[in-house]
Structure 1
Amino acid sequence: MKNTRIVITLILTLSVAIANAGYPKNNTKGKIENPNDSLRLAELNNFWSEVSRTVNEGDFEGYKATYHEDAVVIFTTGENKTSVSIAEALQHWKQGFMDTKTGKTQNSVEFRFSQRIGDETTAHETGIFAYQSNNGAGKASQKQFVHFDALLIKRDQAWLLVMEYQKSKATEEEWNLLE
């Protein structure tokens, strides 16, 4: 019986050691440390800059290319809470891109983050995006702030959104608290 306990204890100890091997460790502030974080974050910053560029310029094909073909978009900011395929969401957004491309409207989006978790090929980004639209006659809509989550994967050296979750409206004060 004593030998059985020793064997079980050894198996459990080895199992925990194996399960934790190679995974990033938490530092004292709760932030995950990963030696490749700076490269991943630089790549993701470039990704979000590209998303902003495509919205600002009305580049629909460029915007579409930032999503995985099987991506899902979840909306819970309005009355109708829904989940749709990226194909359906893009169909709904396409006219806005075309109007921006032709100068009928001007749109912009910016991103700030409260949490960024990931490794070399996966990322979970949490933050707020700020979206504003101008109808071309000089009348700008009020800037909208939205809490969001995004799941991304890296394929062929490119980051792609697989899930965008527009969770709730945010305030400008919350936006200003983020970097």
Structure 2
Amino acid sequence: MKKIKSIITLILALGVTCANASNTKNGTTETANDSLRLAELNNFWAEVSRTVNEGDFEGYKATYHEDAVVVFTTGENKGSVTIAKALQNWKQGFIDTKTGKTRNSVEFRFSQRIGDETTAHETGIFAFQSDNGTGNANQKQFVHFNALLIKRDKTWLLVMEYQKSKATEEEWNSLE
């Protein structure tokens, strides 16, 4: 009888584990909750791309938590700033895009995505390209980045964006 209870317990435990696992990727089991979170985050990053592509400053601003911090270690101006200060510096680029003076685009690819229902830490590369209307688009810039997000009232918000280092096109191509 004891043996039967042990077998039933084992079968139930395996069943729960299998029911929670939707797939395995890179040796990591992805649960249904992970799939939902990743789908929501994919929508989030698509929205960030849309706002940059369309010059939607208010939409872009809405993707950040009001107390967010941006960290730069890729260019001459290394440091960290509040999102309010970063947005001040970026606003003209959005205005120029909105009015058609420039065309900007950004895409995201990820090497690691960790989180739960209300938190996420995303690691990857973004590719940014700008065209000032002269027909000579700037070469795509590839940047390694980390992003820390929280979910508030069903909305994902960036709390921290860390632009770490320049990436290569080969590194970009190696990510899905």
Same fold (TM over 0.5): yes
Map of 2:159 onto structure 1: 162
State the alpha-carbon separation in 2 of the partners of residues 85 and 162 from structure 1: 10
How far the C-alpha of 1:28 sits from its partner, in A, is 9.9
Q: How does 1:1-179 map to 2 (within 5 A)?
A: 31=28, 33-179=30-176
Map Cα deviations across residues 9-38 of structure 1 (whole Å, 9 max, x no partner): xxxxxxxxxxxxxxx99x895536443011
State the alpha-carbon separation in 1 of the partners of residues 99 and 161 from structure 2: 27
SS in 2 for 1:84: strand
SS in 2 for 1:36: helix
Structure 1 unaligned runs (5+)? Answer: 1-23
TM-score, normalization by structure 2: 0.84
How far the C-alpha of 1:79 sits from its partner, in A, is 2.6
How far the C-alpha of 1:47 sits from its partner, in A, is 0.2
State the alpha-carbon separation in 2 of the partners of residues 114 and 70 from structure 1: 26
How far the C-alpha of 1:136 sits from its partner, in A, is 1.1
State the alpha-carbon separation in 2 of the partners of residues 110 and 29 from structure 1: 23
TM-score, normalization by structure 1: 0.83
* 1:108 aligned partner, one-letter code: S
* 1:154 aligned partner, one-letter code: K
How far the C-alpha of 1:137 sits from its partner, in A, is 1.7
State the alpha-carbon separation in 1 of the partners of residues 144 and 126 from structure 2: 7
Aligned residue pair count: 155
How far the C-alpha of 1:78 sits from its partner, in A, is 1.2
How far the C-alpha of 1:81 sits from its partner, in A, is 1.3
Please report the RMSD computed on the Cα atoms of aligned residues, expressed in angstroms: 1.7
State the alpha-carbon separation in 2 of the partners of residues 160 and 60 from structure 1: 15
Q: Percent identity?
A: 83
State the alpha-carbon separation in 2 of the partners of residues 35 and 160 from structure 1: 21
